[in-house]
Amino acid sequence: MVSEIRLFTESTFLEKAQSYQSVLSLRGVVVHIEIVEKINARFLRLHPELALCVDDLGLSLSANGMKMQPDWKAEIPRLKRASLKSEMIARACNLSEKPNLIDATAGLGHDTLLMAHLGATVTLIERHPILFTLLEDAKNQGESDPFLAPVVSRIQLVFSDSNTYLQQCIDENNSVDVVYLDPMFPQRDQNQQAVKKQAQVKKQMQLLHMLLPEEGEMDLGDRLLVLAQVIAKRVVVKRPRLAVFLNDQQPDHQWQGDACRFDAYFNG
């Protein structure tokens, strides 16, 4: 887990950078602010190490000449095209019933955004302080957008380890309609060629993988499935199409796509 990181910003955005620095400090990350003349493509190429940037677009992660943030506004065209009938995730998660849903594997929050747009009330769990802060920034920006505002109002961000959060739900006898899982590291998959193809991810995901190196078996999601099945009427797992079952557990139902599938486990 990254506990110390540099943050590049231009003098114009210093106050904003200091605000992010304070927030991340409270979440256990030491941030060293460096004021630079201009954050542009050349600057990013010359500073390939993992770092944060603050500019007019807010907070972003940078490395290897790339810059990324969970740009929820960029998802608006996709959301406008989406419908309960057209989206496989909508059928898998039974979104027509407007479920109370936990997304225990946040990523960049794009699936959460889609599910909230299609009617779900979503609790989004993220344990990494930097990724959580990036998601928080995306949500805050979404609140000022006329299209996204009603969508993000149905999303609650929770800064927690998903295993801990689900166990707490069990201990407190809290239940939900759906738990959604999309584990980042399906490397035990049967078809290694499919895994390699899956690994050639978009630039955004490349940086996410740098920020979130695999930290043991729990990141595969096996334990999450076990915990989720205790509290949810339905657990939905997104997998590469040829991947092995999570926790080697045969699902009750599947929805198959060209690149991925959704495995569903029903409780009662």
Distances (CA, A) of 145 to 72, 74, 92, 140, 149: 10, 12, 28, 9, 6
Return the CATH class of domain 72-266: alpha beta
* Site of tokens 């201990």: 171
Phi then psi for residue 256, to 5 deg, are -105, 130
Q: Annotation-wise, does 127 bind a ligand?
A: yes
- In tens, the pLDDT along 46-67 reads 999 999 999 999 999 999 999 9
Domain ranges of the chain: 4-68, 72-266
Give which of 41, 38, 35 is closest to 64, Cα–Cα. Answer: 41
- In tens, the pLDDT along 141-182 reads 999 999 999 999 999 999 999 999 999 999 999 999 999 999
Q: Annotation-wise, does 87 bind a ligand?
A: no
**What does the alpha-carbon distance between residue 134 and residue 23 come to, in Å, rounded to a whole number?**
11
One pLDDT digit (tens) per residue for the chain, 268 residues: 678 999 999 999 999 999 999 999 999 999 999 999 999 999 999 999 999 999 999 999 999 999 999 999 999 999 999 999 999 999 999 999 999 999 999 999 999 999 999 999 999 999 999 999 999 999 999 999 999 999 999 999 999 999 999 999 999 999 999 999 998 654 444 444 444 444 445 667 788 888 886 554 445 689 999 999 999 999 999 999 999 999 999 999 999 999 999 999 999 6
Give the distance, in angstroms, between the CA of residue 25 and the centroid of all CA atoms in the same chain: 21
Q: Annotation-wise, does 182 bind a ligand?
A: yes
**What does the alpha-carbon distance between residue 157 and residue 165 come to, in Å, rounded to a whole number?**
12
